[in-house]
Amino acid sequence: MKKITPHLWFDKEATDAANFYTSVFPDSKITNSTTLHDTPSGDTDLVSFELAGQSFMAISAGPLFKFNPSVSFFVNFDPSRDKNARENIDVLWDNLSQGGMALMPIQQYPFSERYGWVQDKYGLSWQLILSNPEGEERPVIVPSLLFVGAVAGRAEEAINFYLSIFNDSKTGSIQRYSAGQEPDKEGTVMFADFMLLGQWFAAMDSAHKHEFAFNEAISFIVNCDTQDEINDYWEKLSAVPEAEQCGWLKDKYGFSWQVVPSDMDEMLRGDDRERIDRVTQAFLVMKKLDIAKLQEAYAGK
């Protein structure tokens, strides 16, 4: 399991979406599916899946949050690793575009011979790019954060903040806005990527007017092996006390994280309905998760 896993909040479509994504991305599969009973959203479907080596989790938990382009996923098509990269980027674009909307049409841009940004039929955003075969290798899928509105211009600050918290971390490339690219301020981040716990992420600033911001529709799950690890991340990341619930927190940039035990997914697997229900009811009353109490619920103590 990846140490950091993107979590997608759907109204009722988590299972349908997971089936769709695993059908259009290569090297993909659903790894687990279960239903949590008696949650504040009623019965909720929870689905774990992998797309091209990137782990995801999705939940159907009601219409509380909607996806928007503040979080998207780069999909890298590298001609040095795939001789059919040019053809494959167009195939995926066509699949993701069905019922969706192009935010930037797929075509040639100054930064790539072929690139497009699409919002799929579920509202999730993908940036498909033909990578530079001479550049440093990156994973196929890279989550990307767009800093807009009240946090526009703070992408570099946020990157450094996250680097100070997570181990096995480093900066990658960075391109900055230059003079004359208003409303974006000279020196702010046009594009940057960085590594946290051995996984790549990207970030960008945009000072243009946008009618969206970070919300709980997309969060990052941080899998922790010990209670001390949970406590440390919680103390460093949580900045909005009223957002703390069921292992969820919101940082000072408004982005949501879930700090959970590494075996949480295992606790919610299998056919033992009573055990899954015990674990569910245990974590629903918690803010910061308590590994010992969750393990007691799992064991039926």
Closest listed residue to residue 140, CA positions, set 150, 156, 155, 129: 129
> Who contacts 295 (Cβ-Cβ below 8 Å, separation ≥6)?
none
- Tell me which DSSP letter residue 232 carries: H
For the chain, domains (ranges, CATH) are 4-66+215-299 (3.10.180.10), 71-205 (3.30.720.110)
Q: Are 91 and 77 in contact (CB under 8 A)?
A: no
The predicted pLDDT at position 136 comes to 76
Neighbours of 143 (CB within 10 A): 21
pLDDT tens digits in sequence order for the chain, 301 residues long: 579 999 999 999 999 999 999 999 999 999 999 999 999 889 999 999 999 999 999 999 999 999 999 999 999 999 988 999 999 999 999 999 999 999 999 999 999 999 999 999 999 999 999 987 676 788 999 999 999 999 999 999 999 999 999 999 999 999 999 999 999 999 999 999 999 999 999 999 999 999 999 999 999 999 999 999 999 999 999 999 999 999 999 999 999 999 999 999 889 988 889 999 999 999 999 999 999 999 999 998 7
Quote the Cα angle for 197-194-261, to 5°.
25
How large is the C-alpha radius of gyration of the chain? 19
Phi–psi pair at 147, nearest 5 degrees: -90, 110
- HSE-CB at 286 with a 13 A cutoff on CA atoms is 19
The predicted pLDDT at position 301 comes to 77
Closest listed residue to residue 112, CA positions, set 82, 88, 135: 135
Neighbours of 42 (CB within 10 A): 11
C-alpha to C-alpha distances, 151 to 19, 61, 146, 186, nearest whole angstrom: 34, 28, 9, 16
The predicted pLDDT at position 137 comes to 81
The predicted pLDDT at position 245 comes to 96
Please name every residue paired with 142 in a beta bridge, in sequence order, or none if there are none.
74
Neighbours of 275 (CB within 10 A): 17
Q: Are 255 and 218 in contact (CB under 8 A)?
A: no
Dihedral sign of CA atoms 46, 117, 69, 196 in order: positive
The predicted pLDDT at position 132 comes to 78
Dump the DSSP string for 35-61: EEEEETTEEEEEEEEEETTEEEEEEE-
The predicted pLDDT at position 1 comes to 59
Dump the DSSP string for 63-80: TT----TTEEEEEEE-TT
> Who contacts 43 (Cβ-Cβ below 8 Å, separation ≥6)?
35, 36, 37
Dump the DSSP string for 61-128: --TT----TTEEEEEEE-TTT-TTHHHHHHHHHHHHHTTSEEEEEEEEETTEEEEEEEE-TTS-EEEE
